[in-house]
Amino acid sequence: MSYRAYKQRTPLPVVANVPPKLRPIAQGHQWTLTEYVCSAGPHDRTFEERHDRVTIALVTSGTFRYRSEAGEGILYPGAFLLGNAGSCYECGHEHSHGDRCLALHVERELFGEITAGPSGSSRCRFRAAILPAVSDLAPISASLQLAALPQRNLALEETILAAINTVARVAGTNITRPRRPKAAATRRMAGVIDYIEGRLATDLSLAELSAYIGMSKYHFLRTFKQTTGMTPHQYILGRRLRAAATALRATKDPVARIALDQGFGDLSTFIHFFHRVMGVAPANYRSSA
C-alpha cells in the first residue's frame, strides 16, 4: 500500500502541534546539528510536518511513534530517525511523554556526494524510516552526543561527515528493521523501555521484564524484537555502552568505576565488549578526545 493510500485509509487528526524546544549545537557547510526537546504526551494530538532537508536524528531519551512514506515504527534511545528531503512525516506520543533528539539536517547535494558509490551512483533516499540501535552505530551515537562539548572545528566536521556516511551505509544493508507496530505493542514496549531506562545499572532478567508488562517470556522477546529491531539484551548492552562512552569523555572517573556504574559487573568483560564495538580500548577512547 502506498503512503498516499495509507493516509487516505487512516486520515491524520487535526493538527494541534506542541512545538519542541530547539537548541542549535553546531553548523557547517550544508549541515546543521540541533537538539530537539519535545514535551508532548498522550493528550496531545499527533502532527504532520515536512522534512526540508535530509534528516538523521539520534534519539537520546524518550520514546515516540514515527511515520513517513518509508515506513512506521517506534523510536527509542539509541535508534535513528531517517527522513528524506521533501517527504512528509508524523510523530505521536500516544503512549509516552516527551523525548529528546539530536537532529542532523543535511543538504541534498552533500548527502548525495557522501553516499555516492564507486561507480558514481548515489543513494539519495532512505528506504527505511528507522534504524534500530545496532552495534555498528554505537561509535557514531557516542560521537554525536559529545558534539556539544568544546572541540576543534576539524574534529567536529569529521564527526558529522562520518555520521552521515555510517548511517547511510547501515541503512542500505540487510539489517532487521522494525515492523510496523500494532497500537497495543507500541504501548507495552514504550512502557518497558521506560522501565529499562530507570534500571540500566541493575541486573535485569527476561522474567522481570516480561512480568512487568504481563506477557510470557517468549511472547515478550518476540514482540520486543519485532518492535525495536533488536533483543532486550542487545538494547540494554547498547545503552550501557553509549552511557559509558559518554562518561569516559565527560568525566575523569576511573574506567573500573564507570564500568560498575553503568551495569558492567566485570571490568574485563566491559573492556572486551567496548573494544569490539568501538574499535578501541576504553582508555584509548578517552585519551583520543
Per-residue pLDDT tens for 42-64?
888 877 899 999 999 999 999 99
* Of residues 24, 172, 40, the one with CA closest to residue 105: 24
Top-confidence residue, 145 or 83: 83
Q: What is the pLDDT of residues 26-39, one digit of tens each?
A: 999 899 999 999 99
Residue 180 has pLDDT above 50, yes or no: yes
Q: Is the pLDDT of residue 159 over 50?
A: yes
β-bridge mates for residue 36, sequence order: 22, 101
3-state secondary structure 86-121: CCEEEEECCCCCCEEEEEEEECHHHHHHHHECCCCC
| The pLDDT value given to residue 131 | 93
| CA 83 centroid distance within chain | 13
The mean per-residue pLDDT over the stretch 156-161 comes to 90
Asked whether the predicted pLDDT for residue 231 surpasses 90, the reply is yes
What is the pLDDT, as a whole number, of residue 16? Answer: 45
Task: Spell out the residues 6+ positions from residue 139 whose beta carbon is closer than 8 angstroms to its own.
Answer: 166, 245, 277, 278, 279
The confidence band for 97, taking pLDDT boundaries of 50, 70 and 90, is confident
Query: Domains of the chain (ranges plus CATH)?
Result: 3-171 (2.60.120.10), 183-287 (1.10.10.60)
Give residue-wise pLDDT tens across range 128-143.
999 999 888 999 999 8
Question: Cell for 151?
Answer: 572541540
pTM to 2 decimal places: 0.83
